[in-house]
Amino acid sequence: MRALERIRNHSRAMRRARRHRTDLVGWLARRPQLLASTAFYETMLIFTNRLDPRLKDLAELKAAGLVNCEFCLDIGSAIAQNSGLTERQITDLPRYRTSDAYTELEKLVIAYAEAITATPAIELDELREQLLTHLTKAQLAELAAAIAWENQRGRLNQALGVRPTGMAEGMACAIPESRLG
């Protein structure tokens, strides 16, 4: 059931695209194996649902902001709102530590995304232990994979010049953040 809801959320966001719709596909179509493997991994992330999808959306949006991928922030903000994250949760990401918009678990998830996105990854042992008091190992593996994939997405999109499409126009949108390290 979660997978169907995630597919709907992604579809709603994609339908809102107004411009530059084919930037990424245009690049990856030149290497069909990369297009197919990217589509496969994206699909598997949607169908892997032991973890609350809202937590994945929060973590991915934080990583997108740290990588400064405008396309990822655009689509991620639209998907996050479709999945039930509030405007405040989206706009407070840069100051999540002091915001009361998040639960303790949500703050840990955002901190984990921040730590994984740093180069090199920082302070993971303590965060992993704290998260394992709330999540199963399977859920943590899913979260780590989603964050790592968002880092890959954002860096690939930037390297190829993939531009935002306007999916989050008229909605709250997460903003680029300062690099960590």
pLDDT in tens, 109-168: 999 999 999 988 888 999 999 999 999 999 999 999 999 999 999 999 999 999 888 878
pLDDT of residue 179: 60
Is the model more confident about 133 or about 1? Answer: 133
Of residues 149, 139, 117, 141, the one with CA closest to residue 40: 149
pLDDT of residue 64: 96
Of residues 109, 120, 96, 112, the one with CA closest to residue 174: 96
Is the model more confident about 72 or about 172? Answer: 72
pLDDT in tens, 27-66: 889 999 999 999 999 999 999 989 999 999 999 999 999 9
| CA–CA gap between residue 82 and residue 44 (Å, rounded) | 20
pLDDT of residue 86: 95
DSSP state of 93: G
pLDDT in tens, 74-93: 999 999 999 999 999 999 99
pLDDT of residue 169: 84
Residue spans of the domains in the chain: they are: 1-160
State the distance between the two ends of the chain, measured CA to CA, in whole angstroms: 39
Of residues 12, 18, 10, the one with CA closest to residue 169: 18
Which CATH number applies to 1-160? 1.20.1290.10
| CA–CA gap between residue 112 and residue 143 (Å, rounded) | 9
